[in-house]
Amino acid sequence: MANKTPEKRKYTTITIPTPLFARIQKKIRTTGFSSVSDYATYVLRETVSEMEMKKSGNAKTEGVIGKLRALGYTE
């Protein structure tokens, strides 16, 4: 059996204004987030996911509109 070693996660640092950090720190005290970094990662993942879905949705919509135009339908 091959010896599998877990891949190390790579991280980078981002900076945010100190007052914002303090506000987030207060806000997450009663949540399941263990740190501001965990919360920021969650928010960024959600935001990027939404942006990707919108972009994908827009491309699909444009494709359908193009097909309808090819069939003679106009807006």
Tens digit of each residue's pLDDT (9 = 90 or more) over 11-58: 899 999 999 999 999 999 999 999 999 999 999 999 998 888 877 777
* Assigned domain for 29 exists: no
* Assigned domain for 17 exists: no
* Assigned domain for 44 exists: yes
- In this model, does residue 75 exceed pLDDT 60? no
Please list, in sequence order, all residues whose beta carbon lies within 8 angstroms of the beta carbon of residue 40, skipping any fewer than 6 positions away. Answer: 14, 16, 24
Give the per-residue pLDDT at 59.
72
Please state, in angstroms and rounded to a whole number, the distance separating the CA atoms of residues 49 and 8.
Answer: 23
* Assigned domain for 72 exists: yes
Total domain count, the chain = 1
| Enclosing domain of residue 65 | 34-75
Confidence of residue 74 (pLDDT cuts 50, 70, 90): low
* Assigned domain for 20 exists: no
The dihedral sign for the CA sequence 69, 50, 48, 16: positive
